[in-house]
Amino acid sequence: MFDLSSISLSLNAIISIIWLIVLFAILVSEKMEKAIASWLIAWILILLQVFYDPSWAESSSQIASIYIYHNLDIFAFIIWMMIISWIAKDSWVFKYIALVIVKKVKWSPIKLFFILSYLAFFLTIFISNIPTIIIMAPIVILIAKKLKLNVMPYIIWIITFANLGWAVTPISDPTTYYQAKTLGFSFFEVLTNTWLIMFVVSIISAIYLYIIFRKDINQKVDLKKLELVVPKNYIRNRSMLFESIFVLSVVILLIIFKEYILEYFWLKLDNWTVTLFGAFLLILITKRSVSKILKKKVDYATLFFFAWLFVVVWALEYNWVIEKLAEELIVITNWSKSLLLLMFTMWSSILSVFIDNVPYNIAMVSTLESFKSSWVIVWSAWTALAWWLNSCTSIWWAGSPIGSACNVIALWQAEKSKVFINFLKYLMIWVPLVLINSFVAYLILYFRYMI
């Protein structure tokens, strides 16, 4: 039996856990704006000195600031993609793409369900989930509104499949890249060990979501009026349309081929650099006002929410909460490889509802590294756990509206279009699917590595 009393946690660790739960309760209640809630809890943790270490910093706030500083590339990446996507949206490029798609599938909601879901899945494999969400969210919102369908299922579909796609290759997400680099896995090792899991899980997710939203998917639309719609008539600014498509294409291609650019041209590009270039180029060629763009097109509330959420969750890592829980699982499973894998899988599935993916991944990669270096578990079990972390992270963090950056951005895009998705309702839809998919991933890993 899992006995929390057997885990030696510091006072700061206990304080960090309590205030994380408080933050989650506030977010579920929706009684306070998300950015203000995370800001308040982060300030309380800093005030309570949970980060204080006199050996290398003068105050708790300095250490928290250092952590935010080390994640500035993530925030900058989101800002540049916001700018690119909103300038592109002003040209109505997304509306044009949306109308072309729906015309091709003859305005069928069920065909749109599968096409948009797997489009998000495959885009994520190559360009990462954040750009996928920023590109796809306006498209699915416009399609749903044009067909007079419920927008919520479409948003949940692309969140689901954008999260699933990020485990397939090391370039799909910064956390996947970090895992592969730190644990020593190549591009093709990640691809060959995760594609089957994610493909099977995607099918299960499609079936589950179809059952949940079958009324919305099978809803009839007025084809007589819709067939008269001509996509090209919805182009507001033709020159801006082509400029937006050009810049988006350049950004996507650079993100896909950045590893090859490094190998053959010795030029190291990251997502931050690529999107910074794309935003600059699009502002330049469309002659937009930088001050207006920064004022109107960047959602600073979302960025503040991310920053302070990272601080709140990092308090767990800083005080060794996640590592101690992981090590305790080793003990209570009595070194059983299969039981250890199952416990890790299901425990992390539940924990992921509360914890953002970036700090959690950093902590778990460190834990796996310590297991490997100290030989506390046999090689086959360690390998299974490594692929478990790589595969299951993409399953878990669609389970909560705050589970990953792409979730928050997708819901932000929806709110900008006057579509609001209840926090608790989201959890009720997704938590069962997280548990189902986690168990399926466990079975695949078990039969592949444990037998």
Coarse DSSP helix, strand, coil percentages of the chain, rounded to the nearest 5 percent: 80, 0, 20
pLDDT at 417: 78
Looking at per-residue pLDDT, the higher value among 142 and 40 belongs to 40
Residue 285 has phi, psi (to 5 degrees) of -80, -25
pLDDT at 1: 44
pLDDT at 281: 93
Q: What angle do CA 367, 194, 249 make, to 5 degrees?
A: 105
Amino acid at 447: F
Per DSSP, the chain holds a count of helices (H) and strands (E) of 22, 0
Looking at per-residue pLDDT, the higher value among 232 and 112 belongs to 112
Looking at per-residue pLDDT, the higher value among 290 and 57 belongs to 290
Distances (CA, A) of 58 to 47, 51, 101, 118, 290: 13, 11, 57, 50, 38
The one-character DSSP state at 378 is: -
* Residue 447, Cβ density class (10 Å: 0-12 exposed, 13-18 middle, ≥19 buried): exposed
Q: What average pLDDT does the segment 294-316 reach?
A: 81
Residue 80 has phi, psi (to 5 degrees) of -65, -40
pLDDT at 2: 44
pLDDT at 76: 80
CA 233, chain centre distance (Å): 35
Residue 45 has pLDDT above 60, yes or no: yes
Least confident of 26-30, 245-249, 348-352: 348-352
Residue count of the chain, please give it.
Answer: 451
User: What percentage of the chain exceeds 70 in pLDDT?
Assistant: 84
pLDDT at 4: 46
- Mind listing the pLDDT tens digit for each residue in 125-166? 876 777 788 778 888 887 888 778 888 888 888 889 988 887
* Model confidence band, residue 342 (pLDDT cutoffs 50, 70, 90): confident
The model carries a pTM of: 0.74
Contacts of 139 (CB under 8 A, 6+ apart): 94, 97, 98, 101, 116
Give the 3-state secondary structure of residue 320. coil
* Model confidence band, residue 380 (pLDDT cutoffs 50, 70, 90): low
Looking at per-residue pLDDT, the higher value among 227 and 258 belongs to 258
* Model confidence band, residue 235 (pLDDT cutoffs 50, 70, 90): confident
Residue 200 has pLDDT above 90, yes or no: yes
Give the 3-state secondary structure of residue 125. helix
Q: CB of 391 within 8 A of CB of 194? A: yes
Contacts of 405 (CB under 8 A, 6+ apart): 74, 78, 129, 130, 306, 357, 358
